[in-house]
């Protein structure tokens, strides 16, 4: 049992990666659509690139969206409108008319005229309530069929034009009076009617909507069918019109058919295979080309998390409305990975993620082409992300590439610009604006995952920071030395394409351990008193060597990132404190070299190797007397060649060519520092 536990502990990193791999694969497969995928990729207006396609089974031809919308409008307009009638209104109005008429018209009026007026009034009421008076005006077509209900029982069938709107009453009265040549009495009659007329029809919206819904439910979404074995499209034919609709119908039928349990499980298994294959490629890439990232479980988790997060967001958008697919800022992924790692890892991960998204999005080829192109542009254009202007410029370029590529696709597909959906350009602009969110996102990731980006390195490079100010006060000579080393290291890094910001920050903090015993280091001895004179060579060496350990402790206390602490650990590698080692050998024959050696490790990156060279050159250059170009060249060559012979750079991925370039930079910089002039012959 103990052996088993020890074995588990020994392989805990591999076990964790396996669990991460499996869980991420399961999550992504869960997000994927659970149906088969049509094996033919076709586009409207382009030739059919495959062999002649025969119908694999009987299927119905689906109507186009335009056909369905037109039919829905036709059905909706043909469904009768339902109105409820209040039967108590008409008798009440008739009675009110009789009473009001007697009051309004006295016996002084000619009896014949009075009889005519009463008849006109009665005719108007009969016309108003023949079908009914509406309680409000509605925006319906005059020819729309209407059903009038009395207590849910059909009373009349009519058209909407038969119903009287309240603003029509005055016109009906005018017409009746004109026909009877009684326009003289218009004011009295109009006033009378406006006092007594009441609406008796109310629109029954719920019943009408129910009737429309019932009619729409009977609508057929297909037109005709294709029998098994029928030729759908021949090789080389342009996919358009009826052929395109048949292909879309076949695709829809194929992808939406009900799967048996066995088939469903096979689909899941196939998805799992493809997703696991992609995620495995990512792991193998990390293991082969980015081993330091691979060995760090936090960093691997971070990469997998970002891939899964983008797939999740894209899936949610597609499920909501696929037209918003280009609003999702996919280019945030390579931006973030480049900020924390490097461009190559960012691009590789981006391409794999886009390949996975091809299973989810519509028009997958177009989508993948656009996203891969913009991902490449992102990697090529974004540099020094900590400079705000660079990010804005890059986002503008990304948005422009989206628009140009989309425009080209539409012209190829449609053959003209008339069918361009201009609102898609708005989605691209929104995508660009969303990409700007990468800055706060990087900050959040730094806190969540303990990673370091160039933005944080820029903050650490501020010489007014608390720790560097303390170094300046306690060990001013060391602080000045660190500044000089930082300048040399930054120039060297720029020469060979290394991370200049990282190596500069590492150089600024590499000697903070000297703050613990500053006077034991010559650059801080301003009084001319050397405390090493009172110590043995071994004790002196121990103090010198311990500045590395002390530096790591101080860095941990001030919560410096591990990437910066690496420079403190490695800037002397496993080299020997040569001065005190030779001094000890003068007094003793047997001397253990380990007592005078730094604990290491050796530099394991270009940046840490650069710091080791620059630190040694800058410190030793103080011993140069009457420096000349020849002396400086020999001096630089001797120090760095000695480090190479000792194998200090064996673990760093730095080439001899790059070392030669660094030597050249250091020689030039030292020559500038000492203001050398041309050596004239005597």
Do 418 and 332 fall within a single domain?
yes
Residue span of the structural domain in which 132 resides? 73-216
DSSP characters over 322-333: GGGGGGS-TTHH
Q: Which residues of 528-543 are buried (b: 16+ CB within 10 A; e: fewer)?
A: eeeebeeeebbebbeb
Give me the mean pLDDT over the 575-585 stretch: 83
Do 510 and 539 fall within a single domain?
yes
Q: For residue 123, is pLDDT > 80? A: yes
Q: For residue 458, is pLDDT > 60? A: yes
Average pLDDT of the chain is 84
Do 316 and 373 fall within a single domain?
yes
Give me the mean pLDDT over the 460-475 stretch: 91
Q: Pick the closest to residue 491 from 572, 398, 611 (CA basis).
A: 611
Give me the mean pLDDT over the 589-594 stretch: 79
Give me the mean pLDDT over the 117-143 stretch: 86
Give me the mean pLDDT over the 595-611 stretch: 91
Decide if 32 is inside a domain.
no
Do 268 and 185 fall within a single domain?
no
Q: For residue 258, is pLDDT > 50? A: no
pLDDT band at 419 (very low <50, low <70, confident <90, very high): low
The residues near 666 (Cβ < 8 Å, ≥ 6 apart) are: 488, 492, 613, 614, 617, 636
Do 418 and 276 fall within a single domain?
yes
Decide if 283 is inside a domain.
yes
Q: For residue 348, is pLDDT > 60? A: yes
Q: What is the 3-state secondary structure (H, E, C) of 82-130?
A: EEEECCCHHHHHHHHHHHHHHHHCCCCCCHHHHHHHHHHHHHHHHHHCC
Order of strands, sheet of 81-85, starting from the edge strand that comes earlier in the sequence: 153-159, 145-150, 81-85, 201-203
Decide if 660 is inside a domain.
yes
Give me the mean pLDDT over the 471-475 stretch: 93
**In whole angstroms, what is the distance from residue 160 CA to residue 140 CA?**
7
Q: For residue 302, is pLDDT > 90? A: yes
Do 191 and 236 fall within a single domain?
no
From 235-239, 562-566, 599-603, 604-608, the region with the lowest mean pLDDT = 235-239
Decide if 682 is inside a domain.
no
Decide if 678 is inside a domain.
no
Do 166 and 77 fall within a single domain?
yes
Do 250 and 205 fall within a single domain?
no
Higher pLDDT, 246 or 27: 27
Using a pLDDT cut of 70, give the percent of the chain over it. 91
> Can you state the angle between helices 261-289 and 297-320, rounded to 10 degrees?
140
Decide if 681 is inside a domain.
no
Q: Pick the closest to residue 541 from 483, 591, 589 (CA basis).
A: 591
Number of domains in the chain: 4
Decide if 680 is inside a domain.
no
The pLDDT tens digits for 175-209 are: 888 887 778 778 887 888 888 888 989 898 889 99
pLDDT of residue 664: 94
Measured between alpha carbons, how far is residue 526 from residues 238, 475, 518 in Å?
87, 11, 11
C-alpha 338, offset from chain centre: 15
C-alpha 258, offset from chain centre: 33
The last residue of one of the domains, among 449, 473, 495, is: 449
> What CATH number should be reported for the domain holding residue 536?
1.10.3210
Phi-psi region of 424 (alpha: psi -120 to 50; beta: other; left: phi over 0): alpha
Decide if 585 is inside a domain.
yes
Q: What values do phi and psi take at 119, rounded to 5?
A: -65, -45
How many Å is the maximal CA-CA distance in the chain? 153
**In whole angstroms, what is the distance from residue 40 CA to residue 461 CA?**
55
The pLDDT tens digits for 29-87 are: 888 876 556 666 776 777 777 778 888 777 888 888 888 888 898 888 888 889 999 88
**In whole angstroms, what is the distance from residue 627 CA to residue 633 CA?**
10
The last residue of one of the domains, among 157, 188, 216, is: 216
pLDDT of residue 131: 86
Q: For residue 552, is pLDDT > 90? A: yes
Q: Pick the closest to residue 464 from 447, 450, 448, 483 (CA basis).
A: 483
Q: For residue 262, is pLDDT > 60? A: no
Q: For residue 510, is pLDDT > 90? A: yes
pLDDT of residue 483: 94
Give me the mean pLDDT over the 88-113 stretch: 80
Do 268 and 404 fall within a single domain?
yes
Do 242 and 280 fall within a single domain?
no
pLDDT band at 468 (very low <50, low <70, confident <90, very high): very high
The pLDDT tens digits for 626-662 are: 778 888 889 999 999 999 999 999 999 899 999 999 9
Q: Pick the closest to residue 239 from 65, 407, 41, 66 (CA basis).
A: 41
The last residue of one of the domains, among 201, 216, 231, is: 216
pLDDT band at 405 (very low <50, low <70, confident <90, very high): confident
The residues near 230 (Cβ < 8 Å, ≥ 6 apart) are: 54, 55
Do 110 and 78 fall within a single domain?
yes
Do 521 and 662 fall within a single domain?
yes
Q: Pick the closest to residue 577 from 598, 603, 556, 557 (CA basis).
A: 598
The residues near 233 (Cβ < 8 Å, ≥ 6 apart) are: 48, 52, 53, 239, 243, 246, 247
C-alpha 464, offset from chain centre: 36
The residues near 489 (Cβ < 8 Å, ≥ 6 apart) are: 503, 504, 506, 507, 610, 611, 614
pLDDT of residue 682: 52
For residue 146, list its beta bridge partners.
81, 158
**In whole angstroms, what is the distance from residue 554 CA to residue 512 CA?**
7
- Identify the top-confidence range among 126-140, 168-182, 589-603, 636-650: 636-650
Residue 401 C-beta-side C-alpha neighbours within 13 Å: 21
Sheet strands (E) in 189-321 = 201-203, 222-226, 231-233
Q: For residue 153, is pLDDT > 70? A: yes
Q: For residue 156, is pLDDT > 80? A: no
From 301-310, 386-395, 509-518, 534-543, the region with the lowest mean pLDDT = 386-395
Q: Evaluate whether 486 touches 511 at the Cβ level (below 8 Å).
A: no
């Amino acid at each position: 049992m103990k052996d088993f536990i020890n074995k588990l502990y020994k392989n805990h990193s591999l076990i964790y990666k396996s669990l991460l791999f499996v869980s991420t694969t399961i999550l992504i497969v869960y997000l994927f659509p659970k149906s088969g995928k049509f094996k033919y990729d076709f586009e409207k207006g382009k030739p059919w690139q495959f062999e002649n396609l025969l119908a694999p089974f009987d299927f119905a031809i689906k109507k186009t969206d335009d056909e369905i919308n037109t039919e829905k409008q036709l059905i909706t307009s043909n469904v009768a409108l339902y109105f409820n009638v209040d039967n108590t209104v008409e008798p009440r109005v008739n009675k009110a008319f009789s009473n009001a008429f007697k009051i309004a018209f006295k016996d002084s009026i000619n009896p014949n005229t009075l009889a005519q007026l009463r008849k006109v009034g009665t005719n108007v009421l009969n016309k108003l309530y023949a079908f009914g008076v509406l309680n409000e005006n509605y925006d319906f077509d005059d020819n729309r069929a209407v059903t009038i209900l009395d207590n849910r029982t059909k009373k009349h069938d009519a058209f909407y034009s038969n119903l009287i709107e309240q603003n029509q009453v005055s016109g009906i009265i005018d017409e009746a009076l004109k026909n009877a040549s009684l326009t003289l009495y218009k004011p009295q009659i109009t006033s009378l009617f406006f006092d007594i007329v009441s609406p008796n029809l109310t629109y029954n919206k719920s019943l009408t909507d129910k009737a429309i819904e019932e009619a729409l439910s009977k609508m057929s979404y297909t037109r005709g069918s294709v029998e098994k074995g029928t030729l759908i499209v021949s090789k080389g034919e342009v996919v358009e019109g009826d052929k395109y609709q048949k292909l879309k119908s076949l695709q829809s039928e194929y992808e939406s058919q009900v799967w048996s349990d066995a088939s469903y499980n096979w689909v899941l298994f196939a998805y799992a295979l493809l997703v696991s294959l992609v995620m495995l490629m990512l792991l193998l890439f990390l293991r082969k080309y980015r081993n330091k990232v691979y060995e760090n479980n936090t960093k691997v988790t971070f990469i997998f998390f970002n891939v899964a997060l983008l797939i999740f967001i894209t899936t949610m958008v597609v499920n909501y409305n696929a037209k918003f697919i280009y609003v999702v800022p996919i280019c945030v992924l390579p931006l973030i990975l480049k900020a924390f790692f490097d461009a190559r890892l960012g691009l590789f991960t981006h391409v794999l993620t886009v390949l996975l998204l091809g299973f989810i999005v519509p028009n997958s080829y177009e989508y993948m082409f656009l996203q891969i192109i913009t991902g490449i542009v992102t990697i090529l254009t974004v540099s020094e992300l900590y400079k705000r202007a660079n990010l804005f410029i890059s986002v503008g370029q990304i948005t422009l590439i989206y628009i140009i590529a989309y425009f080209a696709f539409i012209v190829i597909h449609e053959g003209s610009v008339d069918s361009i959906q201009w609102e898609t350009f708005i989605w691209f602009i929104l995508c660009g604006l969303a990409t700007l969110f990468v800055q706060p996102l990087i900050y959040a990731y730094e806190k969540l995952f303990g990673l370091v980006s160039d933005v944080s390195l820029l903050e650490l490079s501020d010489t007014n920071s608390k720790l560097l100010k303390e170094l300046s006060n306690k060990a001013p000579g060391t602080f000045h030395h660190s500044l000089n080393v930082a300048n040399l290291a930054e120039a060297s890094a720029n020469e060979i394409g290394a991370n200049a910001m990282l190596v500069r920050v590492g150089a600024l903090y590499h000697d903070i351990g000297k703050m613990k015993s500053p006077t034991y280091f010559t650059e801080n001895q301003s009084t001319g008193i050397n405390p090493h004179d009172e110590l043995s060579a071994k004790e002196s060496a121990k103090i010198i060597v311990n500045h590395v350990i002390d530096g790591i402790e101080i860095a941990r206390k001030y919560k410096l990132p591990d990437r910066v602490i690496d420079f403190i650990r490695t800037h002397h590698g496993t080299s020997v404190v040569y001065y005190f080692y030779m001094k000890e050998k003068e007094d003793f024959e047997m001397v253990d070299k380990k007592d005078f050696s730094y604990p290491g490790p050796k530099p394991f990156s270009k940046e840490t190797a650069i710091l080791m060279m620059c630190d040694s050159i800058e410190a030793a250059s103080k011993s140069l007397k009457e420096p000349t170009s020849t002396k400086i060249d020999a001096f630089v060559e001797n120090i760095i060649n000695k480090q190479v012979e000792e194998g200090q750079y064996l673990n760093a991925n730095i080439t001899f060519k790059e070392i030669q370039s660094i030597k050249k930079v250091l020689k030039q910089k030292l020559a500038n520092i000492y203001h050398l002039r041309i050596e004239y012959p005597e």
